[in-house]
Amino acid sequence: MTETLMLMLACVAGLVIGMIFFGGLWWTLRRALWSKVPALWFIGSLLVRMTLVLAGFYLVSDHRWERMLACLMGFVLARLMVTRFTRAASKPTFLEKESSHAPYSR
């Protein structure tokens, strides 16, 4: 395969790795908030997510810095996507429009 195609595949792999990492973080936060032992959730999730990310980056890079950089770009893009998705999903829809009780401050 050509190197350009390999870089594109590395970027897609980074996107998938990032979606798993940041999606797992979001899922962990939602679960740990209602858990009796949130520290166990956070530490366990961190270990699993970091192991997956490090192994994924190692396998994708194949000892080439260009592939590592492309994978990192996909990872960062996944962060932006997951952040935008979870922000839209977490907005409460049941709140009414804010009222203005305070006077204008000038």
pLDDT tops 80 at residue 4: yes
pLDDT of residue 93: 56
Task: Report domain extents, the chain.
Answer: 17-85
pTM (2 decimals)?
0.76
Most distant pair of Cα atoms in the chain: their distance: 66
pLDDT tops 90 at residue 12: yes
Please give the backbone phi and psi of residue 94, each rounded to the nearest 5 degrees, phi first. Answer: -90, -10
pLDDT category at 92 given cuts 50, 70, 90 is low
